A and B are shown apart, each in its own frame.
Chain A
């Protein structure tokens, strides 16, 4: 029976005009694509739910009263959801949310600017230019990432003290304008190496200097990579704990992450407060991340490139 039906289909398809055949094929193709999209969406949703479970616990606990936090299961939605924990944190003059938020913002935005600018410069040199000692200098660059920070903590502290930088913001901002860290330079170098050289060469034929190539040809095509290191740098500075803890003495200069730790108290933690604080610290980062979303989507524009 099936064979007969198929034969009829084949005969019918030959008989139909070509446009109809194409239309049917296109519809099938779209159907396949739609199923794919649907499946992918389902997988992503399931995955997202799994991923978000710990965040859910954090949120739920921040909305519970002290009594509920101690006695109910962490996964249970609060019977009496309350914003009192957030209110307490805003009012607490030792936690000083807004002041610490401003401090943290300064300590995150300024270094990010420095990192994006200088890491790109240095990465450009390593990726595009030929100079004496390049490959071995690159190894030195990588090796600065390889020593655990624990053992350079105290020598670093002494160095900062000799510079008079303790209890200031300099140790956080100044190094960002001098390369911004091997991690970022390395990432950008890999990315630049992935950009074809045609445009460089075209520009050079037009007499452009390296600086022009850097600024007009390479940088505009690095949107996704620059956005990536901008987000990483911002988040890294925002969430930095050991740095502000060691360098800053004055509590008025402290950052949110350190203030968060103080919620743990010397004798026993008030979980609902700690979680509320964690949520508060997370919100600005999420906002920045969402705001930067569009830079992730920029693709490479290869106008007039080889076909």
Chain B
């Protein structure tokens, strides 16, 4: 007994903290090392790293909704507000106040500001990632006889040759070269992604697309200064071609980063994370490179954009003190030093960021490790990061507003037009968002009663037709037997119907997945039809896709199955070859397909325009005319006319699954039917029409129903490849729904959309069921 007490008193209880991160292959190892160093320094605390490789915000939301959040988590400046507002996070100010070892003044102040909301601090910053950095290729400057960029350079709307290295636009112009045919072969400048160019210009020029960050009431997309800037950005890319457009990149099969690596891009705007890989991948003759901060607009202070991340503690944790120790470690010198020395992240503590050997190369560093000399500018860049923190209800509107970058930089229409449309749409969205702020609590008790009533109504609907009818003995026996066979499904029904009912109730509410829903009645449904024009557009685009892809998909799957059902040698191999493509990873395949659809170097246009025999047919010209751009090879994914046919083509390629189903159906037809038909003198066509097809109709019916359900829910490719564009041409219903659910955090609205789709599919299916009696032939009839 004494021994037991003694043992209990000396052994520290082991605490396990769950730590959620988004890190992938490149940084997970470093994170784990930091955690194990922490464990050594703090015996009794174990860290369980839980990597969430994608959909991080969704998973966090789900965990909070289910009350099983992690203890500690990596947190970005955009992810924490809804969580904080709901009380899912612990404010860190009390911990900092009690702990002299953490001084907020040591951190970059704007980074700290990023994580302040409602007067409290919700995450301790770990890294800053200023994106106002330009990497430049010194060789290209020397060869052009130009001076290197001066760190105090500036920019304005026209090049100023007299300023030489102190004018950004002049340098961009001089370093852009075209070949003999007038096509660009070298670009002066590009950001790592188009949105960055747009955001940096706006920040640098000191403009915003709305009036106020704290209390936005108005959009000013049509402000003349804004429009002037939009025209400048558009011309930079489309008229002057100093920066590659998305089309240029697709045509040359590269990314902006690759252009820089290949020495075809003189200046590359990105963040500090590039440094590590550039050290390894910038090889001769492009190995002489350096960094310079993005210029300031003439007459204004330097302002650029940036991001970063920090570490937060979740309110549900049972070990807040231990969690704080870990937060201090990960978002303090130990964690920051490890990440910086691995070249992954710039520390959020200013002194650390400026210490050689941590983020800056060590004093005695040699060769590539000593580069880039200009790394010191990351400090100034971090200090001048602008923050665009807007209230939560405005965030989706802000994101959509900033999304015009895509239109502006692709030159698909004049900037004035884009801005006018943005002003109209954004104003309407803002009114809706403000309207939604006035909410009523969700009536849980009536809602539960309603759900029960719905269940009872369903039961009544199923059983009423035969209510009161007396069953014969045989019928009762068959009944019992049938229900025994059905038992697994019936039990599982609770698991399936429960969430469905919940989402139905949610469709009458407004929910951001984290806070308790609030009641809005039929507002979601009425908004979907009368207020939000994107829903009707989605329905239209999805219908077009379905009408094209379902028949084509069915016919091609059937033809293929018929071909594979013959006595050709090696059928199993062919079957595999046709089915395997549909098995490949959706994301990897989408990216490969993007290259196939390249207007200039993709294999599809190659066959149509440049290879015999198709290039001598008028096929290419017809296609170009149909796409509205005669004379140019069709740009499949960027053209609103051709993008859906391109998707249909992709869908047919993945039709291996449908083929397998038809094959199974074909194999199910007994040979004796064919023998009988042949004896009666039927040729192959007659055999197909009178034996094969009728006996295949049950399978066709199946493929038709599942095909409709599948086509109306087309999703992944539209997100990965075109992100709902161009110009909402691929804003399929599911893409729209998903954005509402997890992008705009309008789960109630998304649920309403889902149920609208449900009703549409249900109606179509019931019509098909009724119609099936006329053309579907069941050999073992349905009695």
Contact = CB atoms under 8 A, between A and B. Distances in A.
A73 to B, nearest CB: 7
A14 interface: no
A contact face: mostly helix, strand, loop, or mixed: helix
> Which range contains the number of B residues in contact with the other chain?
35 or more
B341 to A, nearest CB: 16
Interface string B50-61: 111111001101
B577 interface: yes
Interface string B461-503: 1110110000100010011011101101101110111111011
Contact of B578 (A47, A142, A286): A47
A82 to B, nearest CB: 17
Interface in B535-589: 560, 563-564, 566-569, 572, 574-581, 583-585, 587-589
A281 B586 CA distance: 12
Interface in A32-83: 36-37, 40-41, 43-44, 47-48, 51-55, 57-58, 66-67, 70-71, 73-75
B757 interface: yes
B488 A178 contact: yes
B517 to A, nearest CB: 11
B26 interface: yes
Given A191-B665, A297-B667, A300-B668, A44 B563 contact: yes
Interface centre among A162, A190, A193, A264 (most CB of B within 10 A): A190
A193 B22 contact: no
Interface stretch (A16-24, A100-108, A118-126): A118-126
B706 A186 contact: yes
B27 interface: yes
B576 A278 contact: no
B486 A147 contact: no
A265 B26 contact: yes
Interface in B1-48: 18, 20, 22-29, 32, 48
A235 B762 CA distance: 27
Given A158-B65, A175-B492, A264 B49 contact: no
Contacts of A210: 478, 481-482, 485
B669 interface: yes
A155 B657 CA distance: 30
A133 interface: yes
B781 interface: yes
A11 interface: no
Contacts of B713: 148
A43 B68 contact: no
B664 A250 contact: no
Nearest to A294: B572
Interface string A252-280: 00000111111111111010011100100
Contact of A54 (B461, B581, B783): B581
Contact of A125 (B482, B583, B698, B741): B482
B765 interface: yes
Given A127-B780, A239-B583, A147 B52 contact: no
A26 interface: no
B747 A151 contact: yes
A220 interface: no
A74 B670 contact: no
A249 B764 CA distance: 39
Nearest to A227: B664
Interface in A89-103: 92, 94-95
Contact of B671 (A129, A192, A242, A299): A299
A74 B491 CA distance: 51
B62 A153 contact: yes
Contacts of A37: 566-569
A122 B781 CA distance: 17
12 contacts: A55-B584, A122-B485, A148-B757, A151-B750, A155-B498, A194-B778, A195-B779, A196-B779, A200-B780, A259-B53, A263-B24, A296-B575
